[in-house]
């Protein structure tokens, strides 16, 4: 099927010449307009594939104004015909994003070349727009927030889920650097640094491991997102697509589970302390005493090791521990101590860790089950069991030594 042309030229002889030459090249000229107003009327009625538009026309509407309306309302490519190649005219015409220019007078091969290129470019642009339309439709219907960044880290797209979760209007963020998310309080402080350093800066093509960040909505409520990043291409340009899975409910459920575990462990500990009193009686055989201690250690491990593993996973160290291929013993030990201090704090115990020349010392600063004169040996035995058992979970080579004094309970970690 021949390509349909509309010729807009106010000089009738020139218009007929263009029509004749275009038809000899195999195109179908569906009409000739001599004014901008007539060009709009024929465009609406004839629906041409392309419009050849003279820039300077008689009447109130010139070719540039008519071309802008044709592009906006009908999405039909326009090629300018002009004998005016002055800079000011071309700069004004350029704002309408035409599909080409033909400077009069011109050769047939120029006319043919410009029309074919314009038709091809418009076809590719239409495909791109359809692709963008499908992407936006899919992205808007996604329950997960989606962010699209260009190579300059500017936000080019945010979907409806972003507004729903954060409460912030997305239009405030468009074409702004991603730092705007920190400025308006969605991702703050260390969370924003994590977002940049672990997700954006190291990004090349695809990040299979998600980055977990905490965000705040407009009302200050916290949400937890698991962010995945990948590259998508649009018109030859690479964009970073970030999809966030809302794991707030999962995190809150996990917090409740950990709280229950802590409460259960506290009850277990208190119960053990009461039941362990007879262990130090002279009538209790040492073998039975050791069985009771082992049973406590087993219960402690069953209830608390999942919490330890979760802590190490968040620190990115669990894989080293599980495989036994320790790459950074010091980092694992410090992560272990932070977990241990948090656990003891829940029991009302404050601790202090010191790095000595060849070992680490853990001192119990506050101890709710002691008097002013001495540490009860029952409690001392209990916490020795806790520290020695939990240290084995780190898979670090070393040992734990109790160095408690009369009024102080202390342990040394030799790694």
Q: Is 237 exposed, middle or buried (0-12, 13-18, 19+ CB in 10 A)?
A: exposed
Cα(80)–Cα(51) distance, rounded to whole angstroms? Answer: 8
Check whether residue 129 and residue 213 sit in a common domain: no
Check whether residue 286 and residue 383 sit in a common domain: yes
Check whether residue 279 and residue 403 sit in a common domain: yes
pLDDT for residue 93: 75
pTM above 0.75, yes or no: no
- 157, part of any domain: yes
Pick the last residue of a domain from 110, 136, 162.
136
- 161, part of any domain: yes
Count of C-beta atoms within a 10 Å radius of residue 306:
13
pLDDT for residue 372: 47
Cα(114)–Cα(59) distance, rounded to whole angstroms? Answer: 27
Cα(148)–Cα(239) distance, rounded to whole angstroms? Answer: 6
- 200, part of any domain: yes
Encode the chain (415 residues) as per-residue pLDDT tens digits.
Answer: 789 999 999 889 999 999 999 999 999 999 999 999 999 999 999 999 999 999 888 888 888 889 999 988 998 999 988 876 567 777 777 777 788 888 888 888 888 988 988 888 888 777 767 767 777 787 888 888 999 898 889 999 999 999 999 999 998 898 999 999 999 999 988 888 888 887 777 555 555 578 889 999 999 999 999 888 888 776 667 888 888 888 888 888 877 877 776 677 666 666 655 555 555 454 556 676 677 778 878 888 888 899 999 999 999 999 999 998 899 999 999 999 999 998 888 777 889 999 988 899 999 887 665 554 455 666 777 888 899 999 999 999 999 998 866 667 889 999 8
- 258, part of any domain: no
Q: The domain spanning residue 31 has which CATH number?
A: 3.40.50.2300
Pairs from 106-111 (Cβ < 8 Å, separation ≥ 24): 108/21, 108/24, 108/25, 111/18, 111/21, 111/22, 111/25
SS3 label, residue 273: helix
- 390, part of any domain: yes
Check whether residue 409 and residue 272 sit in a common domain: yes
With a CB cutoff of 8 Å and minimum separation 6, the contacts of 267 are none
Q: Is 408 exposed, middle or buried (0-12, 13-18, 19+ CB in 10 A)?
A: middle
Check whether residue 148 and residue 90 sit in a common domain: no
Tell me the residue range of the domain where 170 lies: 142-246
Check whether residue 214 and residue 349 sit in a common domain: no
Pick the last residue of a domain from 75, 104, 136.
136
Check whether residue 155 and residue 122 sit in a common domain: no
Cα(280)–Cα(377) distance, rounded to whole angstroms? Answer: 9
Q: The domain spanning residue 160 has which CATH number?
A: 3.30.450.20
- 230, part of any domain: yes
pLDDT for residue 373: 45
Query: What's the total number of domains in the chain?
Result: 3
pLDDT for residue 404: 67
Cα(273)–Cα(249) distance, rounded to whole angstroms? Answer: 36
Check whether residue 273 and residue 410 sit in a common domain: yes
Check whether residue 125 and residue 27 sit in a common domain: yes
Check whether residue 78 and residue 185 sit in a common domain: no
Cα(92)–Cα(63) distance, rounded to whole angstroms? Answer: 11
Check whether residue 340 and residue 365 sit in a common domain: yes
Compute the 3-state secondary structure of the chain and give helix, strand, coil in percent, each to the nearest 5: 50, 20, 30
Check whether residue 233 and residue 304 sit in a common domain: no
Q: The domain spanning residue 399 has which CATH number?
A: 3.30.1380
pLDDT for residue 167: 92
Cα(67)–Cα(50) distance, rounded to whole angstroms? Answer: 11
- 260, part of any domain: no
Report phi then psi at 87, rounded to 5.
-60, -45
Pick the last residue of a domain from 114, 136, 158.
136
- 255, part of any domain: no
């Amino acid at each position: 099927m021949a390509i349909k042309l509309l010729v807009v030229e106010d000089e009738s002889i020139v218009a007929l010449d263009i029509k004749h030459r275009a038809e000899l090249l195999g195109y179908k000229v569906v009409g000739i307009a001599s004014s901008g107003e007539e060009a709009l009327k024929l465009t609406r009625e004839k629906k041409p594939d392309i419009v050849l538009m003279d820039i300077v026309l008689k009447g109130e509407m010139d070719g540039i104004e008519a071309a802008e309306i044709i592009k906006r309302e009908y999405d039909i490519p326009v090629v300018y015909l002009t004998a005016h190649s002055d800079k000011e005219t071309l700069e004004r015409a350029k704002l309408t994003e035409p599909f080409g220019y033909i400077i009069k007078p011109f050769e047939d091969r120029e006319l043919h070349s410009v029309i074919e290129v314009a038709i091809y470019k418009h076809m590719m642009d239409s495909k791109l727009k359809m692709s963008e339309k499908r992407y936006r439709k899919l992205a808007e219907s996604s329950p997960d927030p989606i962010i699209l960044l260009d190579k300059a880290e500017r936000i080019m797209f945010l979907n409806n889920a972003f507004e729903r979760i954060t409460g912030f209007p997305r239009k405030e963020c468009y074409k702004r650097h991603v730092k705007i998310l920190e400025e308006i309080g969605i991702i703050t402080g260390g969370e924003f640094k994590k977002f940049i350093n672990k997700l954006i800066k190291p990004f090349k093509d695809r990040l299979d491991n998600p980055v977990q960040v905490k965000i705040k909505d407009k009302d200050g409520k916290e949400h937890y997102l698991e962010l995945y990043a990948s590259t998508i291409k649009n018109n030859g340009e690479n964009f970073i697509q970030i999809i966030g899975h809302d794991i707030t409910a999962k995190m809150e459920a996990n917090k409740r589970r950990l709280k229950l575990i802590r409460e259960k462990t506290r009850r277990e500990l208190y119960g053990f302390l009461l039941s362990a009193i007879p262990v130090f009686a002279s009538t209790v055989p040492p073998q039975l005493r050791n069985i009771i201690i082992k049973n406590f250690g087993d219960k402690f491990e069953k209830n608390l090791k999942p919490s330890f593993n979760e802590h190490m996973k968040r620190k990115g160290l669990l894989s080293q521990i599980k495989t036994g291929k320790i790459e950074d013993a010091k980092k694992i030990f410090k992560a272990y101590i932070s977990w241990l201090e948090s656990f003891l704090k829940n029991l009302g115990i404050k601790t202090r860790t010191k790095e000595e020349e060849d070992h680490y010392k853990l001192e119990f600063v506050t101890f709710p089950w002691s008097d002013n004169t001495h540490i009860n040996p029952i409690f001392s035995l209990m916490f020795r069991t806790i520290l020695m058992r939990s240290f084995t979970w780190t898979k670090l080579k070393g040992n734990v030594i109790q160095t408690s004094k009369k009024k102080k309970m202390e342990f040394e970690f030799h790694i």
